[in-house]
Amino acid sequence: MTRTRRRSTSLRTVLSALIVTGACATAGFVPAATATAQPPASDGVLAAMQHDFGLTRDQAEARLATEKAAGATERQARRAAGSAYAGSWFTARDGRLTVALTDGAKADAVRATGAAVRLVDRTARQLDAAKARIDDLKAPAGVASWRVDWRTNSVAVDVVANRQDDNDVNDFLAKARRAGGALKVDLTVGTTDHAPGTLAAGTVGGDPFYTGNVRCSIGFSVQGGFVTAGHCGGAGQGVSGWDGSYVGNIQGSSFPDNDYAWVNVGSGWWTVPVVLGWGTVSDQLVRGSAEAPIGASICRSGSTSHWHCGTVLAKNETVNYSQGAVHQMTKTNVCAEPGDSGGSFISGDQAQGVTSGGWGNCSSGGETWYQPINEILSRYGLTLHTA
């Protein structure tokens, strides 16, 4: 369904159902009743993975199947590791999930789940506690973000390259190094060429949703509405759809600290469990919200840049926007552009989160963060609309 056809009056009812689902696209909407077996993703998702990752169709299908299995393995391995758990990550090259442990006595039980094991010094709980103390610090503009890096068993801080010699940046880093206390958690400092920013935009043409003169993208349908980014508007604000008609109101919103919101729908609008393809790819059914591991493939689309794929780079990262820090974000190397805010991140047919911000663009590349969907559902007591 192309944009031109979507503008026709005869398709208004179908559009109303689809647009509430999401201002970002993935792939093929095929009624479940016509399928004899569920593919790992629609043709549109597979085509995008072939383009963005340089894979054949068979390789894309195999990777999605391996990533789905890795997600299930991670949940089993975490239970087997217990308090010795120190993080996990997926490596596409060998299709292996690695679990970090602080107790070698747990290694055999974890390996029995199918995961590889790496022994480290600090548990995930200890690293998270150190990061939480850094979250309490006031970060200067020259500090882009910080996170727990499970691969290095450390807390990693990214500094804007041309600000790394600033006194306030070095003062922040000195305080961050002391955040581990007696545990002496390692602090890994990296650089980025760009400071992160949110991805809302002034009103322009397209099929997004609007709050005043701000354009954003719809994320995922929930029962009674949809979720999106919090910086797109505050609680109580009215929301209009692609055609200017009234959709509903923002029922809850948080930004900064978090970056999520949800909107109720009415006035002839309703929800369906798909992510819209914008005529670039077919629409994708949403079947759940199982969390993809670090290293897994992930795809995003929004009302500006449409459909792009990449990899999950990190979780539980704190991003330091000019408006304030936002916590518990997931970092990807998927590009995004202004107007994509709030749009869907999806792995296969599993919802992952809503687009928050990033740096770069879809011509030269960049990085983008999303707020995980399960946190949003839990915060507002919402139920994801699934097929």
- Catalytic center residues: 231, 259, 341
Cα gap 324→257, rounded to integer Å: 7
Report residue 331 as tokens: 């970092």
39 cis-preceded (ω within 30 degrees of 0): no
What residues are paired with 317 via a beta bridge?
Answer: 329
Neighbour-count burial of 322, counting CB atoms closer than 10 A to its CB (0-12 exposed, 13-18 middle, 19+ buried): exposed
Report residue 159 as tokens: 């500094």
Residues 208 and 242 sit within 8 Å (Cβ to Cβ): yes
What one-character-per-residue DSSP string does 130-186 give? HHHHHHTS---TTEEEEEEETTTTEEEEEEEGGGTT-HHHHHHHHHHHTTTGGG---
Tell me how far the alpha carbon of residue 373 is from its chain's centroid.
8
Residue linked to tokens 């559009």: 15
Phi first, then psi, for residue 13 (nearest 5°) are -65, -45
Residues 373 and 262 sit within 8 Å (Cβ to Cβ): no
Contacts of 282 (CB under 8 A, 6+ apart): 27, 28, 29, 42, 43, 44
What residues are paired with 260 via a beta bridge?
Answer: 254
